Structure 1
Amino acid sequence: MRARHRTLKLGAALLLCGALSACSATYRNHGYAPLDEDLSQITVGVDTRDTVAEVVGTPSSGGVLSESGYYYVQSRVKHFAWQKPEVIEREVVAVSFTEAGIVENIGRYTLQDGQVVPLARRITRNGQDVSFIRKLLANLGRFSASDFIN
């Protein structure tokens, strides 16, 4: 009887430990940001896009306007039970280039800096990207009854 009671206690303790460990947070790392040692090998005003890619690797993202820069983004995300995932660390290394493709600046930003680096932009150029619905709605007021009567 005693052995059975002890087995039940041990089973209950293991079940409790298993339930508590299921509620522990998990962390995931995404992306890559080069180390300062690697960035120190890049010379502003001398190195080009190709040499930057050779030294620190291919970027996570590039500038959308005429390839203006390279962005290396590294994030650490906390997942806890049913809650929404939370970004607890983010580091962005931004390498900007001149129009000739020469390194102009290197910057490192974190969540604490509060810097926003545009990774995607939506730009409409001179009406070229106007959607079908916008064109349709713009033409609604341009009809008159005489347009439909022959």
Structure 2
Amino acid sequence: MITIRSFVIALSLSLALTACAPVYRHHGYIPPDDALSQVVVGQTSQAEVESLIGRPTSKGLLEGSGWYYVGSRWRHYGAMPPQEIDREVVAINFTPQGTVANVERFGLEQGRIVVLSRRVTDSGITSISALRQALGTLGNITAGRFID
């Protein structure tokens, strides 16, 4: 026979155990892969991107510089402070003509930002470091430039 005392102990024990279960919350929006696969680099316009995957979470500071879709997952566990366990960023940059220049997906792995996927149009511009640029101009300096 179950007494009231054992019932209260069992009820309080079960409440204490369920109170320690983690609670997960999702913030932001990341477009699904099938919607992102419809965005064609060099062909899809900014208006088409908006209709395919929606408005971005945030935009770049300069007009037309890029759209950023940010999503994160947080774990709340008891009285401990919330902890971010996953973050993903999808960055879509546009050309001055308004077509997609590149689509990049970044993740957060152990506190470091990592590139998960990248689709970029080839602009034909090679990346040259600042040191190489500075050293490359040394041979182009003539005395006539200082006199003018």
Q: TM-score if structure 1 supplies the norm length?
A: 0.69
Deviation track 1:79-138 (CA, whole Å, cap 9, x = no partner) reads 11222211101111110111222100001111129338xxxxxxxxxxxxxxxxxxxxxx
Aligned identity (percent) is 42
Q: Specify the alignment match of 2:41 in structure 1.
A: 44
**The one of 102, 113, 138 aligned to 1:115:** 113
**The one of 42, 50, 55 aligned to 1:53:** 50
Larger-gyration structure (1/2): 1
2:42 maps to a residue whose letter is G
Query: Matches of 2:63 and 2:54 in 1, distance apart?
Result: 20
Q: Does 1:33 align with 2:27?
A: no
Query: Matches of 1:26 and 1:83 in 2, distance apart?
Result: 12
Q: Specify the alignment match of 2:98 in structure 1.
A: 101
- The answer to which structure has the higher strand fraction is 2
Deviation track 1:10-29 (CA, whole Å, cap 9, x = no partner) reads 21011111022112211101
Q: Does 1:69 align with 2:105?
A: no
Query: Matches of 2:41 and 2:108 in 1, distance apart?
Result: 25
2:27 maps to a residue whose letter is H
Aligned residues: 114
Superposed CA RMSD: 2.0
**The one of 81, 84, 101 aligned to 1:84:** 81
Q: TM-score if structure 2 supplies the norm length?
A: 0.70
